[in-house]
């Protein structure tokens, strides 16, 4: 009888302990489920999407977070797993990363997003990897000047000759660039070079120039590397009286190099010679000024 009673007490105690444990577990269950819940995996894509990209082409990586919850930000990672961009704060469900294709751009990219709740960052898993393959751009053309001169004067014409290394059948367009931006774009076909006539009108055309061409690769136009830059320099018209308007010198030796219409006698204070369109004042110190 005593043994029976002891067994009842032991079982009752054990059941009570199990009930307390079950109650505690049920209280913790919502919290456990909250932390265990996984955010939807983001989707990474490229725009435009090509099997192969060529150096210099632009491509945008697009990371989409398939959730209606408030986004805190996005992260992008390169082929080594290194974070290459962080966008935060960021409330949209899609983020973009703009890239210019280079030889080092080849590889796999991933992205992830995160929420911010109660000051805590809740990250998603990373997207599936997106592979980018980059190849070298077509070989640069050669740019030359015809005629080739050290300097040019207004009224001259100079040809910018862009010579292509590729098959003439492949070249569809040629572009010329000035150091102030894109200058001109010309459609071409069945040519091995193209000559653009540059009229020397004044200082506005003085500067550096280069060219490039477009060929069709993978069903789309692809730009070559740019040629080396060449300079088109204007001659300083020292014999032009207008260029003397701001000239002041105290070096008498310069007088012998000036146009012949200038007197060699520095004691003359004012002269006016028919062959000269201006009158020139000379002081005793051989300072020059112009009076039109």
Question: pLDDT (tens digit, 9 = 90+) per residue, 155-170?
Answer: 899 999 999 986 666 8
Other C-beta atoms within 10 Å of 79: how many? 16
* Tens of pLDDT, residues 41-76: 999 999 999 999 999 999 999 999 999 888 999 999
Q: How confident is the model at residue 265 (pLDDT cuts 50, 70, 90)?
A: very low
Asked whether the predicted pLDDT for residue 28 surpasses 70, the reply is no
* Tens of pLDDT, residues 107-125: 999 999 999 888 888 999 9
Query: What pLDDT score does 238 carry?
Result: 46
Share of the chain above pLDDT 90, in %: 50
More confident residue, 185 or 251: 185
pTM exceeds 0.75: no
Q: How confident is the model at residue 91 (pLDDT cuts 50, 70, 90)?
A: confident
């Amino acid at each position: 009888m005593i043994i029976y009673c002891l067994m009842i007490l032991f079982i009752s105690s054990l059941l009570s302990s199990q009930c307390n444990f079950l109650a505690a577990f049920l209280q913790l269950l919502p919290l456990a489920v909250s932390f265990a819940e996984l955010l939807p995996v983001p989707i990474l894509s490229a725009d435009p999407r090509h099997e192969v990209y060529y150096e210099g082409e632009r491509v945008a990586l697009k990371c989409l977070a398939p959730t209606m919850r408030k986004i805190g930000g996005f992260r992008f990672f390169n082929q080594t797993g290194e974070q290459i961009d962080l966008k935060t704060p960021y409330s949209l469900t899609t983020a973009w990363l703009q890239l210019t294709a280079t030889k080092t751009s080849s590889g796999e990219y991933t992205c992830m997003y995160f929420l911010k709740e109660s000051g805590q960052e809740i990250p998603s898993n990373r997207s599936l990897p997106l592979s980018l393959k980059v190849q070298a751009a077509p070989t640069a053309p050669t740019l030359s000047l015809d005629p080739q001169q050290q300097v040019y004067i207004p009224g001259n014409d100079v040809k910018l000759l862009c010579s292509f290394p590729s098959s003439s059948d492949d070249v569809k367009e040629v572009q010329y660039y000035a150091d102030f931006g894109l200058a001109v774009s010309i459609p071409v076909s069945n040519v091995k070079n193209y000559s653009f006539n540059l009229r020397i009108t004044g200082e506005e055309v003085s500067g550096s120039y280069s060219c490039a061409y477009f060929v069709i690769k993978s069903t789309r136009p692809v730009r070559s590397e740019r040629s080396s830059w060449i300079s088109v320099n204007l001659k300083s018209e020292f014999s032009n009286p207008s260029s003397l308007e701001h000239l002041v010198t105290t070096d008498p030796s310069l007088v012998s190099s000036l146009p012949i219409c200038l007197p060699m006698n520095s004691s003359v204070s004012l002269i006016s010679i028919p062959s000269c369109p201006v009158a020139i004042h000379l002081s005793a110190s051989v300072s020059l000024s112009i009076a039109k």
